Amino acid sequence: MSVRSHLIIATRESRLALWQAHHMRDRLTGLYPEARLEILGMTTTGDQILDRTLAAVGGKGLFVKELEVAMREGRAHFAVHSLKDVPMVLPEDFDMIFTGPREDPLDAFVSNDYPDLQSLPKGAVIGTSSLRRESQLRARFPHLEIRSLRGNLDTRLRKLDSGEYQAILLAAAGLMRLGLADRIRTRLSLEDSIPAVGQGALGIEFLKDDLETRAALEPLIDHATALRVSAERAFSRRLAGSCDVPLGAHAILHGEEMHIEGFVAAVDGSKLLRESVRGNSSQAESLGTQLAEVLLAQGAAEILGDRVPLV
């Protein structure tokens, strides 16, 4: 199978998304030094709507739709995504590989005044864009005031620095990739916050029938990352995971054994179910689905309502 000599990478135009696109371009240049690689920056609907939560305006797909259109129209060959922003089910004409190594998947506590969540006083304002983080915060720290926080990473940090919030929660991976690790006061433990599905991992999306592009991308596959995120995404798919369903999952590998922990909750934190399962990593997707079934047996359907897909 021949490999394309010219590849165009579609990406959002946020600083973090551009870092990710340039990172992939550099890796591909190392593999194919004679190839011509271009970056097509685009502003997505998700980047334009900042006054409402993602759950209120259409979900994670708002960050990828325009990039998919560019690929369908032949203006780009593939797109680089933060995997946590990618819907659990891709359009039928697209496929994805998972690349790595995976960056730190944990949530980060960022504050100019306090060292950690536990030190925030009653009524302190904490910002987050995630219903997943919000539900876990409300369950464990009901004395805090949680306010919506949208915008790219730099915008969120600027709002913190201007005094709108006493603290904000962000993905540690984004801060680390942009050289901002010094803004992290602490990383949230899994007890306080199970991460988003795929957090810290990168996905590369391309048209399923574009075999030349697939051949060029296959050397970028990271099998350990692929196993972990495949389990997490299977968990989320079974529970109709989207940004209006507060859930998270975190899979780790111990040799050939996988341990995956997940939760589902009501947004207000009044109900939160959490469990874990172990098994052979070769059955990664089955383990993710198994974990979802455990939570469904414990009453997750009552939290999710009619969003649970039929099987």
CATH 3.30.160.40 intervals, the chain: 230-303
**Res 50: pLDDT:** 45
* Residues of the chain under the 50 pLDDT cut: 46, 48-59
**pLDDT at residue number 64:** 86
Its CATH class, for the domain covering 230-303, is alpha beta
Just list the catalytic residues: 85
Predicted confidence at residue 51, as pLDDT, reads 46
DSSP state, residue 60: G
For CATH 3.40.190.10, the residue range(s) in the chain are: 6-102+200-221, 107-187
How many angstroms separate the CA atoms of 34 and 27, rounded?
Answer: 13
At residue 56, the pLDDT reads 45
Whole-number pLDDT of residue 243 = 55
Q: What is the pTM of this model?
A: 0.91
**pLDDT digits 0-9 by tens, 176-221:** 999 999 999 999 999 999 999 999 999 999 999 999 999 999 999 9
- Report pLDDT for 125: 98
Dist CA 149 CA 37 (whole Å) = 35
6-102+200-221 CATH fold = D-Maltodextrin-Binding Protein; domain 2 (3.40.190)
Distance (Å, rounded) from C-alpha 113 to C-alpha 142? 20
Tokens of residue 286, six digits: 């089955």
Q: Cα 104 vs. chain centroid, distance in angstroms?
A: 12
Nearest alpha carbon to residue 260 among 280, 237, 240, 239:
280
Cβ contact 243:60 at 8 Å: yes
Domain 107-187 sits in which CATH superfamily?
A: Periplasmic binding protein-like II (3.40.190.10)
Q: Give 90-104 pLDDT, tens digit per residue.
A: 999 999 999 999 999
